Chain A
């Protein structure tokens, strides 16, 4: 009897990975395929195989190569990396802060990144040695500086660095930096559209360079968080309990904070503040497959990636050729879908209880 239930349990988790990975792959291919020019799935597979493994093109239309490899694939990949980063960071912050309402933006990291980016746009800063990367690099730096100030400030309030203190400090810095951003917007004349457009978020016209920029942060942040899944589980029962279970709470908390902030900062820097992904994807995964972070983090990663690819697909196709800001789409689609799932899940739960 217990053996069977363990098997069931495993099958359940394996099916979870299969479902989420399938969703991601469908989104990936769909994102590359759909647009003003349709590219068949078969051709996409050959093209990707050609670029990754050097296989022959099997007579695929060479114009597709340009569309897929130069434009759509980097765009889709960037959406995937941003979505994955935000979802993983959101899951980790929710676990660490023991608050299902936390998201990657709770601690003010994104406000830091945004303030950095808006400042670059506002003052029209351009460092020649960074060429086109001035904005994202400054933005990432601003986000890292912000999280350090938040942690140091929280520590000055209280040495033990309780999550309640961190949340409060995060709120203080978020609103302060938010005000700085608003001030710059208010003082901006003709550049307003550019700033607003950036703040609403977009993954268009970024190219391979931006992928190179976000990839190392994504890998470091995600790996750090996934190897701290057990600690996140322990810490979601409170810091004292985690310490009793043998977790070096202070150190692990800092690692999770920094890893989550790197992910958030890098995502915001390359794509602006895209809302909803970091809040809802982990919630959604937790609702279906439970809160165990060892599974929650990787599942959220794939689900977040797939979700943002689809959101971007909708953003650029729904009233084509005009592109909508992706952040608007994530919320417009995500909120009602999530609301329905929440409602059905709770109804079902009540019936079976």
Chain B
């Protein structure tokens, strides 16, 4: 459809785009990325025939762009620039109708039913038909941009070129516009080439991406191939962190703000942060901690400040236990957004804590263990789904900067330590009478200050793993002893 071969060009003999070769297929949503001054807009202008080609070739359907007559080209290709200058206050309908210019001929062109329909359809699609007789001047920037999109669609093009189309749009219209483009690309076979400033939007919507640097190609491919931390950091010359999108399999990039000095000072989480009541145990950290947990509230990855282990009656049952937990937290003045909350039927006076320091890292561990519903994981299939009270909640607070591997390894190490403790205390699965490995409702939290020494690993023989292993094992033993080994609760 669009074929660029060793394309170079620019203004006044100065080459801005150099030696670019790529092609865009029909129905593709193709994104162009790159920092300011990397030649994105110039490239787009060369693709629309505004900036002449100095060398190489720029073909649409196998024909050089310079060989197209303006009207012929406008029927195939429409452009939505960042800003369209406007000196006079045309109505929306008049503006959109100009999109039909290329489809009309003769000295006194006739406005056909087909023209009228194309214009109305374009206005409907972009949600601008309600403004049809309104003057452009009375519209907001985002509404105007949609009018010009309608104008481009009224051209009924095969190719649509856009220069940062979402620039003036608020969040919901950004999504609406890109959803519309995606739909038109996949359903109507419209080929869309768009410049993006927002790497994340580009990643979410584009089939393929072109990353430009100094007028040349740095990367070309599907989003996960192009949006890698290293090339993006190097091209944009800034610290970038890549994460997968939580809901769709596309990479998302976040910038990393420079840390202020006070954000670097080390913080130690230990027993002084604990509030111990009959109703709950709470740990209040002085800063937000990075967490990975399986709590009732605040599960998964997150940043949290308060950690609450709530005691509930052994017959506790609630249809919407999450809502109940939120209510409980609110009642005790915890900020739900910054709190990881867990529940246990274990009496909280049976909780055990330990502070362990090995080499450059220290951990503080809190365990509440009850084994009334102990389960041997290897024979768990024999269990019914009935809820029995008893739970081992393990909290690990690491005073250090943990990599994501270290977080996951921390979960593993903590679990292994727990299993070993159960084994050493000879806890049995009451149903199968084999060795229990945990209970049916165990929960775990790994929280790290993300300050101080970097901890790449938390395997069992790394300093972090050693401290977690020791602390969790000892705490679990202690808590089990307090509740009476093997006893129900």
Contacts and interface: CB of A to CB of B under 8 A. Distances in A.
B71 interface: yes
A333 B178 CA distance: 54
Interface stretch (B94-102, B184-192, B479-487): B94-102
B380 to A, nearest CB: 66
A290 B90 contact: yes
B101 A5 contact: no
B86 A246 contact: no
B48 A237 contact: no
Interface stretch (B19-27, B104-112, B467-475): B104-112
A243 interface: yes
Given A241-B81, A246-B101, A246-B102, A291 B74 contact: no
A195 interface: no
Contacts of A243: 48-50, 70
Contacts of B99: 245
Contacts of B85: 98, 237-238, 241
A245 B87 contact: no
A248 B49 CA distance: 12
A2 interface: yes
B67 to A, nearest CB: 14
Contact of B88 (A246, A291, A353): A291
A196 B98 CA distance: 46
A292 interface: yes
Contacts of A227: 107-108
Contacts of A5: 132-133
B449 interface: no
Contacts of A240: 45, 50, 79, 81
B74 A245 contact: yes
Nearest to B48: A244
A292 B89 CA distance: 9
Interface string B55-87: 000000000000001111111011101001111
Contact of A236 (B69, B70, B86, B120): B86
A233 interface: yes
Contacts of B460: none
A292 B90 contact: yes
A154 to B, nearest CB: 16
Nearest to A352: B138
Interface residues of B, number: 40
A276 to B, nearest CB: 20
Given A227-B108, A230-B109, A233-B98, A246 B73 contact: yes
A188 interface: no
A9 B88 contact: no
Contacts, number: 89
A72 B70 CA distance: 49
A236 B88 contact: yes
Interface in B282-298: none
Interface in B6-39: none
B90 A246 contact: no
B466 interface: no
Contacts of B95: 237
B88 A286 contact: yes
A246 B88 CA distance: 20
A233 B98 CA distance: 8
A234 interface: yes
A99 interface: yes
A290 B94 contact: yes
Given A230-B104, A237-B98, A244 B86 contact: no
A237 B94 CA distance: 12
Contacts of A9: 133
Interface centre among A95, A98, A238, A244 (most CB of B within 10 A): A244
A331 B452 CA distance: 79
Nearest to B80: A244
A237 B75 CA distance: 18
Interface centre among A230, A237, A286, A291 (most CB of B within 10 A): A237
A247 interface: yes
B84 A230 contact: no
Given A5-B132, A227-B107, A238-B85, A244 B79 contact: yes
A248 B102 CA distance: 10
A246 B102 CA distance: 5
A233 B95 CA distance: 9
Contacts of A94: 87
B155 interface: yes
B84 A246 contact: no
A207 interface: no
A290 B95 CA distance: 12
Interface in B196-239: none
Contacts of A230: 98, 101, 104, 109
B88 A241 contact: no
Contacts of B48: 243-244
B148 to A, nearest CB: 8
A245 B108 contact: no
Interface string A228-266: 001101101110110111111100000000000000000
Interface centre among A230, A238, A245, A249 (most CB of B within 10 A): A245
A248 B98 contact: no
B91 interface: yes
A98 B87 contact: yes
Interface in A80-103: 94-95, 98-100
B136 to A, nearest CB: 10
Contact of B138 (A231, A241, A353): A353
Contacts of A246: 70-75, 101-102, 155
12 contacts: A94-B87, A98-B85, A99-B87, A100-B87, A237-B85, A237-B98, A241-B84, A244-B74, A246-B102, A290-B89, A290-B91, A290-B94
Given A234-B101, A246-B73, 14 more contacts: A5-B132, A5-B133, A9-B133, A94-B87, A230-B101, A230-B109, A241-B85, A243-B48, A244-B152, A245-B74, A246-B71, A249-B70, A290-B91, A291-B89
Interface of A: 2, 5, 9, 94-95, 98-100, 227, 230-231, 233-234, 236-238, 240-241, 243-249, 286, 290-292, 353
